[in-house]
Amino acid sequence: MRGTRKYQHVIETPDPGKWELAGYEESLPISEKSNPMTRELDKADPSQLVQLLRDCDAEIFQEEDENLIHYHRLYSESVLKTMGDVAKRVQEVLKNPDDSLVVLSGCGTSGRLALLLANSFNGLLKGLHKTPCYCYIMSGGDRSIVTSQESSEDNPQLGAQELEKVCEGKKNVLFIGISCGLSAPFIAGQLDFCMRHLDVYLPVLVGFNPVSMARNERIEGWHSSFRQVAERLQTLHDSQKGFILNPAVGPEGVSGSSRMKGGSATKILLETLLLVAHKAESNVPVTEKCLLEILRTYERAHKVTYSQSKKIAALMKQTATSLQKKGHLYILGWGTLGLVGIMDAVECVPTYQADWRDVRGFITGGYHSIENKEGDLSSLGPQFSISHEDFVKNVLPSVSETDTVLLIFTLDDDLNQIEKLVALVKEKTSNIQVICHATAGQYLPNSLKKTIPSIIGLTWPILFLEYEGAFIQKFQRELSTKWILDTVTSGAYTLRGKIFRNFMVDFKINNSKLFHRATSVLQRLTGQSHQRCTEVLLQSIYGEQTLSEQIRNTTIAGHVEAAASQDKVLPVAIVSLLRSCTIQDSRSRINSSLSIRSAIESSMNVPGRKRGAEDSESR
């Protein structure tokens, strides 16, 4: 443990990683760097995978190290101070709910978290018979709750329009734009809009890169880059007309997969800040101590969660086996834990090119429980059927031994209903697992215990707190569930050969960020120039060895559109570059390989291959 630590930590956070040293993958922002801890993620067994991802999650709580680059961390004074300042401004909104609003906005996972958070705090207000004053925006609209709509995040104008629409008639809006990588054009458009209307809007940016690492290419069809917007926002900090909350939490365990640490850190940071604002409403002043007290409860949640590492590893192994046999993972959750399950399932699609049927989430009460703006979306197609009734009616009849069913609930949920569902599922598969949250002193009834072979039991301490504080337990349970599911699905897809080292290598290129990530992964694995990598990526997207002038002159948005109809674009480009073979040869090699990972691994060892940057740097 380092001597510089200021706070007594609940968990043992790892020592600072090599990623903090000057020069480590210098051209990349923290959110896109590869985490030195997980460099051999693809060779790990389930227990090691859990341990590695556990340590990565613990980095969220690591403190700033003055001996290294001066990255601000969650516990840094400047971050705590900004959290306090923003909390005070939230208080002002809470005092005048009729013409004020707190808007939370994001894309992908960040958008789903905006929904979860807005609903939590509206729920908190409603419980006090106060007017709800939170609202959420997600790029792609409510469809993005249950399906991946990555392309809509590239549109800054749309972001601004949506914001203007939800804020119509309001005099005081606190806008919280979440972009973990400080990269989403949709959020840039909204921040820019706020800065042009500072009489009404107070813009707050939440993300996990320093401003100097915010995305720097000019947004297509717009006037600025994300970085320019963030820099403008930074200048408003001293006058308290705008804020940036961007502690470093370290690179993701799976490079770039911001649904993992980025999502968890968003939840921790914003729930802490907002809870303090609500407590302060009852005349408790906003202090660093209040913030720290809550942050510590999340550290505790990390400890409680990963005390179940063995069982988490078993669930991961079971899931990987199901996926390998072309089976599925069905996640059935109660209350907001169901939404956490849906969030995790949806993300498997863009991150691992999974079919939407592979991992699916269901929630008790369907859309009614989610309380989304657009109401019931189930008429949009089978993908949008998300209630337990939908599961029983449409999915259960075809469930078999190859499938895994995971139930997630608390002991305060309807245990009779749960028991009945368990019995129905058991008629179809014995692979049934449970995540069960209890408060100290509560026990799972024997009748249920006997019927479920494997239970991940998490017991949370009783919190003798005032009304607002009682929400902490709900937040802990959600985060703990998120950590387990992130680890299980990321680990299962790693075991299925979808990761090479710690790079996602088979993701859908369906927005500009992902196009740039694909080029960057290509460069890192092959050591070839940016220009050459872009060229081969385009060959793979268009399936043509010779690129026409028309293709070369197409915008990135055009390439992204073309990539949408192709599969395995990145793996084909990687193998083609490593082997100096045609796109067609590469594709047939991949198609006949055991997994994407094995196709890349065997191409790495081709005689005479030029060593890649990654090879020379760190292996």
Q: Which residues are annotated as a binding site?
A: 107-110, 153, 179-183, 347, 513
State both tokens at 533.
């990598």
DSSP 279: H
Minimum distance of ligand S6P from residue 513's CB (angstroms): 6
Cβ closer to ligand S6P: 278 or 508?
508
Cβ closer to ligand S6P: 119 or 511?
511
Give the C-alpha distances (Å, rounded to integers) separating 392 from 357, 395, 428, 451, 460.
15, 6, 11, 19, 31
Strand 432-439 relative to strand 454-460: parallel, antiparallel, unpaired?
Answer: parallel
The residue number whose beta carbon is nearest to ligand S6P equals 108
Annotated binding-site residue numbers for keto-D-fructose 6-phosphate: 107-109, 179-183, 347, 513
Note whether 56 and 48 are within 8 A (CB).
no
Cβ closer to ligand S6P: 335 or 350?
350
Cβ closer to ligand S6P: 34 or 110?
110
Residue with tokens 């915010």: 214
Minimum distance of ligand S6P from residue 141's CB (angstroms): 15
Cβ closer to ligand S6P: 46 or 263?
263
Minimum distance of ligand S6P from residue 160's CB (angstroms): 16
Say which residues have a Cβ less than 8 Å from residue 505's Cβ, sequence separation at least 6.
498, 499, 521, 525, 570, 571, 574, 596, 597, 600
Cβ closer to ligand S6P: 259 or 311?
259
SS3 249: coil
405 in the Ramachandran plot: left (φ > 0), alpha (ψ -120 to 50) or beta? Answer: beta
Cβ closer to ligand S6P: 16 or 108?
108
How far is the C-alpha of 402 from the C-alpha of 328, rounded, in Å?
7
Q: What one-letter code names the amino acid at 537?
A: L
Cβ closer to ligand S6P: 140 or 366?
140
Strand 172-178 relative to strand 100-106: parallel, antiparallel, unpaired?
Answer: parallel
Binding site for ligand S6P (CB under 6 A): 106-110, 150, 153, 178-181, 183-184, 257-259, 262, 347, 350-351
Minimum distance of ligand S6P from residue 560's CB (angstroms): 13
Minimum distance of ligand S6P from residue 110's CB (angstroms): 4
Annotated binding-site residue numbers for beta-D-fructose 1-phosphate: 109-110, 153, 179-181, 347, 513
State both tokens at 156.
């800054």
Minimum distance of ligand S6P from residue 421's CB (angstroms): 30
Note whether 205 and 177 are within 8 A (CB).
yes
Say which residues have a Cβ less than 8 Å from residue 139's Cβ, sequence separation at least 6.
106, 107, 108, 111, 149, 152, 153, 155, 158, 159, 184, 186
Minimum distance of ligand S6P from residue 319's CB (angstroms): 18
How far is the C-alpha of 71 from the C-alpha of 68, rounded, in Å?
8
Residue with tokens 């959420």: 136
95: exposed, middle or buried (C-beta count within 10 Å: 0-12, 13-18, 19+)? exposed
Minimum distance of ligand S6P from residue 187's CB (angstroms): 6
